[in-house]
């Protein structure tokens, strides 16, 4: 057990309702100050198999519980999250360096909401029966079995519960593999599910490195669904591992989203939205990291943007006044710096930032904006996943659409415009799972979420989640007596 910011956290796996250790551990390091905050169990094939076995054993009874019972338990988990909101927030911040302010005000309340939303949606789930020549077609959403859920470190509990809640609501059992750079809140969630009364084995957590414990988990033929959020290269490994078993996959991957500012836009709003792209130190899949600005306003936009960006307060994420915290890990920090150095070598000009924050040291990277970037350059086309934006200008709407759609990604796009007609025309032509017009990051669990192109496969949210996590079945009753 570790004590992190005065909160006790189990460092073991959670399998079949028991804490299990492994022969080896790994150091969990806080990005805030480089301190080792926990020594977490380093799982492998054995632990992955044990967790799937536990989930498989728990499945028959759990899948037969009534919808009302499952909904009740999900609400009880949400109650547990709300009860521990501050503790979850401070542990997450200590573990992954994201702002405590965001965890307290936005993220952890949304974690509870994830459970409540899918509990309530479950109770409404169902489409009306329909008739074919007197026969009755009855559609049902049958639980699929054991679900392997693999999640990243940038919003650990938020993204995990967005999968766990619908998977459990659907009557499945779950094995969660959280990211090794932020493993702790998954462990706290295990305590919460136990306290809520979730039967043993319905929810399991295996800890460790992706290649060691994640890979055997997703290759296990007993797993009926794999839901993954993370990077494109890992998705390729997972898809290859899933292929022999034809395990259905949901993939939520990276992005290189455009934020398009038209000349008739409200410039204050445009600047606000652009600066918001540094949130979570730029470690947001949906971030609009490519600022595409119409030529005639680009000078004024840039001036105002630079003034706003310069006023951002960088520092300890536990300080509620901080705007930008550290990057997650030294390895990731070096990766970001590599992108920035290569961009400079390729001729790009940093208008702000362009390197580590040497005043703060550690893993603090200065918010950076590049101009003079070539359309085919790495910095314009590859996901940096750090506080690094590029600025390009366009002349016409046609050109804006062409530039917006020019990468291999298609996760999201943001338009800032004064013209509803132009918004409609442009939004219709963008390749993206989500388009925001004069807003950013407005998310509703009723809406489909996912990416086009290399940004993902499938959609989650509302019915889309249940369609993925269930074997949707049509039963046809012959006429005569049974057709209600
Ligand atoms: P990553 O792909 O390195 O790791 C994600 C998870 O996969 C981790 O838990 C890791 O341990 C596991 N993993 C690694 N190799 C594996 C393997 N062979 N088999 C099974 N599991 C394996 O991603 P990351 O660095 O943690 O996260 C950042 C990426 O996630 C970025 O590309 C970001 O855009 C993306 N992301 C996407 C969304 C979305 O909703 N589309 C949300 C957040 C983050």
- pLDDT, one tens digit per residue, over 251-303 is 999 999 999 999 999 999 999 999 999 999 999 999 999 999 999 999 999 99
Residue 442 in any domain: the answer is: no
268 CB burial (10 A radius; 0-12, 13-18, 19+): exposed
Report whether pLDDT(484) > 70: no
Mean pLDDT of the region 357-385:
98
Say if 312 falls within a structural domain.
Answer: yes
Whether 350 and 201 share a structural domain: no
Residues 101 and 190 in one domain: yes
Question: Are residues 211 and 343 both part of a single domain?
Answer: no
DSSP state at residue 278: G
Beta bridge partners, 174, equal: 147, 203
Distance 72 CA to ligand 1 centre (A): 31
- Candidates 152, 215, 216, 441: which one to mutate for ligand 1, based on the most atoms within 8 Å of Cβ? 152
Measured CA to CA in angstroms, residue 348 lies from 385, 386, 467 at distances of 18, 17, 45
Q: Which of 92, 212, 252, 460 is catalytic?
A: 252
257 ligand 1 Cβ < 6 A: no
Residues 285, 235 share a domain: no
Place of tokens 């971030």: 287
SS3 133: coil
Angle between helix 67-83 and 156-169 (nearest 10): 160
Distance between Cα 181 and ligand 1 center (Å): 11
Regarding the beta carbon of 229 and ligand 1, being less than 6 Å apart is answered: yes
- Catalytic annotation present for 285: yes
Give the mean pLDDT of 213-235. Answer: 98
Which element (helix H / strand E) includes 293? strand 290-294
0.95 cut: is pTM over it? yes
What span, in angstroms and rounded, lies between the C-alpha atoms of 283 and 118? 26
Find the mean pLDDT for residues 10-26: 98
Whether residue 447 lies inside any domain: the answer is no
- Considering the domain architecture, whether residues 169 and 310 belong to the same structural domain is answered as no
255 lines ligand 1 (CB under 6 A): yes
Tell me which residue has its CA closest to atom 35 in ligand 1.
Answer: 230
Sequence-distant (≥ 6) Cβ neighbours of residue 92 within 8 angstroms: 98, 103, 107, 108, 156, 157, 182, 184, 185
Find the catalytic residue in 285, 383, 460, 470: 285
Q: What is the mean pLDDT of residues 437-446?
A: 97
Considering the domain boundaries, does residue 174 fall inside one?
yes
Which of 161, 234, 447 is the pocket-test mutation for ligand 1 (most atoms within 8 Å of CB)? 234
Supply the DSSP symbol for 318.
Answer: T
Same domain, 297 and 324: yes
Q: Is residue 325 part of a domain?
A: yes
CA distance 154 to 290: 20
Same domain, 218 and 74: yes
Q: How high is the pLDDT of residue 482?
A: 57
What's the domain range around 372? 258-437
Beta strands in 144-256 (DSSP E): 146-150, 173-177, 203-205, 223-229, 249-252
**Angle value at C-alpha 8, between 7 and 11, nearest 5 degrees:** 130
């Amino acid at each position: 057990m570790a004590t992190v910011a005065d909160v006790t956290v189990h460092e073991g796996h959670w399998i079949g309702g028991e804490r299990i250790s492994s022969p080896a551990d790994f150091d969990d390091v806080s990005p805030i100050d480089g301190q080792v905050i926990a020594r977490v169990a380093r799982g492998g094939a054995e632990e992955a198999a044990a967790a799937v076995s536990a989930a498989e054993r728990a499945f028959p009874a759990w899948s037969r519980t009534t919808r009302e019972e499952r909904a009740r338990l999900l609400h009880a988990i949400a109650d547990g999250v709300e009860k521990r909101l501050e503790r979850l927030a401070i542990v997450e911040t200590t573990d992954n360096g994201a702002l405590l302010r965001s965890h307290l005000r936005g993220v952890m309340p949304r974690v509870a909401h994830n459970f409540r939303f899918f509990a309530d949606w479950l109770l409404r789930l169902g489409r009306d029966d329909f008739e074919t020549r007197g026969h009755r077609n009855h559609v049902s959403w049958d639980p699929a079995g054991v679900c392997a859920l693999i999640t990243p470190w940038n919003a650990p509990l938020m993204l995990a519960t967005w999968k766990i809640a619908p998977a459990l609501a659907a009557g499945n059992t779950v094995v969660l593999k959280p990211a090794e750079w932020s493993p702790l809140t998954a462990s706290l969630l295990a305590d919460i599910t136990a306290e809520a009364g979730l039967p043993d084995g319905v929810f399991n957590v295996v800890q460790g490195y992706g290649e060691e414990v994640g890979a055997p988990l997703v290759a296990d033929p007993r797993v009926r669904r794999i839901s993954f959020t993370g990077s494109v290269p890992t998705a390729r490994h997972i898809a290859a591992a899933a292929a022999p078993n034809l395990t259905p996959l949901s993939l939520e991957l990276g992005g290189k989203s455009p934020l398009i500012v038209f000349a008739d836009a409200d410039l204050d709003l445009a600047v606000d939205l652009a600066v918001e792209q540094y949130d979570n130190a730029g470690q947001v899949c949906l971030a609009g990291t490519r600022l595409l600005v119409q030529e005639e306003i680009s000078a004024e936009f840039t001036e105002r943007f630079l003034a706003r960006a310069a006023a951002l307060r960088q520092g300890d994420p536990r300080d509620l006044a901080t705007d930008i915290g550290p990057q997650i890990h030294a390895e990731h920090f070096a990766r970001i710096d590599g992108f920035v150095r290569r961009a400079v070598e390729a001729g790009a000009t940093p208008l702000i930032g362009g390197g580590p924050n040497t005043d703060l040291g550690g893993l603090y990277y200065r918010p950076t904006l590049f101009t003079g970037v070539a359309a085919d350059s790495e910095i314009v086309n590859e996901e940096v996943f750090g506080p690094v934006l590029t600025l390009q200008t366009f002349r016409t709407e046609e050109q804006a659409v062409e530039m917006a759609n020019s990468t291999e990604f298609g996760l999201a796009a943001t338009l800032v415009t004064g013209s509803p007609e132009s918004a409609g025309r442009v939004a219709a032509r963008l390749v993206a799972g989500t388009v925001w017009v004069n807003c950013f990051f407005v998310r509703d669990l009723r809406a489909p979420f996912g990416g086009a192109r290399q940004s993902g496969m499938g959609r989650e949210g509302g019915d889309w989640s249940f369609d993925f996590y269930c074997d949707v079945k049509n039963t046809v009753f012959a006429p005569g007596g049974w057709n209600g």
